[in-house]
Chain A
Amino acid sequence: MAYTELIKTFSRIRRYLLEFYVYGFKSREEYNRRSSRSYDDERRRLESLLADNIRCRRTVESKTVYISVDSRTGEHNPFFRVLKAKSFTDGDITLHFILFDILSSPDISLSLSEITELIDERLSGFELPRTFDLSTVRKKLNEYCREGIIIGEKRGRSIYYRRSEDIPPCDRDMLDLFTEIVPCGVIGSFLLDRTENRDSIFRFKHHYLNGAIDSEIMYGIFDAIGNKCFADIVTESRRYNENGSILVPLKLMISTQSGRQYLMAYDTLSRRIKPIRTDRIQSIKTAQPCPEYDRYRSLLDRMQEHIWGISTESVSSARMEHIDFTVFFYADELHILRRLEREKRCGTVEQLTENTARFSADVYNVTELIPWVRTFICRITEIHISDKAAEKRFLDDIQTMYRMYSAAEERHDIQ
Chain B
Amino acid sequence: MIFNELYSAYYKAVSEVIRTAADHKVSAGELRHIVEENAFSESVLAIEPALREQRWQLLYEDGSTPLTAYSGMPVTELEKRWLRSLYTDPRIRLFSDDLPSYLEDVQPLFRYEDICVFDRYSDGDPYDDEGYISRFRLILASIHSEQPLEIYVRNRHDEPIKVIMLPKCLEYSEKDDKFRLIGECTGLYVNVVNLGRIISCSPYNGSFTPVKTSRSTTDTLEFDLYDSRNALERVLMHFAHFEKQVIKTASRRYHVILRYDRNDETELLIRILSFGPLVKVTAPKSFILLIKMRLERQKKYIPAANEESSGN
Contacts and interface: CB of A to CB of B under 8 A. Distances in A.
Do the two chains belong together in a single complex? yes
Interface of A: 4-7, 10, 21-25, 47-49, 51, 55, 57, 66, 68-72, 81, 83-88, 90, 92-94, 96-98, 100-102, 104-105, 122-123, 125-130, 147-149, 163-168, 170-171, 173-174, 177-178, 180-184, 186-188, 190-191, 193-194, 201-210, 215-216, 219, 222, 225-226, 251-260, 304, 307, 309-310, 328, 338, 341-345, 370-372, 374-375, 377-382, 395, 397-408, 411-415
Interface of B: 1-12, 14-15, 18, 40-43, 45-46, 50, 54-58, 60, 66-80, 82-83, 85-86, 89, 91-92, 94-96, 100, 102, 107-111, 114-123, 140, 143-144, 168-176, 180, 182, 224-226, 228, 232-234, 236-238, 240-248, 253-254, 259, 261, 270-271, 273-280, 288, 291-295, 297-299, 301-302, 304-305, 310-312
Given A205-B172, A398-B302, 19 more contacts: A72-B261, A84-B8, A86-B4, A97-B18, A97-B58, A125-B66, A148-B80, A165-B102, A177-B172, A181-B174, A194-B75, A219-B1, A219-B2, A252-B116, A254-B116, A259-B237, A309-B118, A375-B273, A406-B311
Contact of A208 (B56, B225, B240, B297): B240
A178 B95 CA distance: 11
A220 B247 CA distance: 36
A170 B92 CA distance: 13
A258 B171 contact: no
A405 B118 contact: no
A55 B259 CA distance: 15
B41 A70 contact: no
Contacts of A93: 5, 10-11, 14, 56, 58
Contacts of B68: 101
A193 B10 CA distance: 12
Contacts of B66: 101, 122-123, 125
Given A25-B254, A96-B11, A342 B123 contact: yes
Contacts of B111: 226
A81 B7 contact: no
B54 A256 contact: no
Name the residue among A163, A183, A205, A407 with the largest chain B CB count within 10 angstroms. A205
7 contacts: A23-B236, A130-B57, A187-B82, A201-B168, A398-B302, A407-B311, A414-B226
B178 to A, nearest CB: 9
B304 A260 contact: no
Given A100-B70, A149-B74, A205-B172, A190 B79 contact: yes
B295 A402 contact: yes
Contact of B276 (A57, A180, A374): A374
B70 to A, nearest CB: 4
Contact of B312 (A130, A375, A407): A407
A68 B243 contact: yes
A86 B121 contact: no
Contact of A149 (B73, B293, B294): B73
Contact of A183 (B1, B115, B305): B115
Contact of A57 (B76, B174, B245): B245
B311 A48 contact: no
Contact of B118 (A177, A188, A255, A411): A255
B3 A86 contact: yes
A188 B76 CA distance: 12
A178 B94 CA distance: 11
B5 A100 contact: no
A166 B75 contact: yes
Contacts of B310: 402-403, 406-408, 412
Nearest 9 A/B pairs, CB to CB = A148-B77, A408-B311, A378-B294, A101-B67, A400-B277, A88-B5, A187-B82, A371-B274, A375-B270
Contact of B55 (A90, A178, A193, A254): A90
A206 B122 contact: no
A149 B76 contact: yes
Contacts of B12: 84, 193
A393 to B, nearest CB: 9
A342 B121 contact: yes
Given A173-B140, A194-B72, A209-B240, A129 B79 contact: no
Nearest to B279: A414
A147 B78 contact: yes
A201 B144 contact: yes
Contacts of B40: 5, 48-49, 51, 81, 85
A184 B2 contact: yes
A256 B174 contact: yes
Name the residue among A21, A88, A222, A260 with the largest chain B CB count within 10 angstroms. A222
B297 to A, nearest CB: 4
Contact of A404 (B69, B76, B140, B280): B280
Nearest to B306: A399
Contacts of A55: 245
B244 A68 contact: yes
A147 B70 CA distance: 19
Contact of B291 (A202, A400, A405): A405
A342 B288 CA distance: 28
B277 A203 contact: no
A83 to B, nearest CB: 6
B134 to A, nearest CB: 15
A251 B114 contact: yes
B173 A226 contact: no
Given A167-B75, A377-B273, A406-B311, A414 B225 contact: yes
B237 A380 contact: no
Contacts of B91: 177-178, 181
Given A304-B116, A379-B298, A85 B9 contact: yes
Nearest to B288: A405
B310 to A, nearest CB: 5
A158 B42 CA distance: 44
Given A24-B246, A123-B66, A216-B3, A204 B56 contact: no
B172 A225 contact: no
A254 B115 contact: yes
Given A203-B182, A206-B176, A405-B291, A258 B304 contact: no
A175 to B, nearest CB: 9
B240 A203 contact: no
Nearest to A408: B311
A374 to B, nearest CB: 5
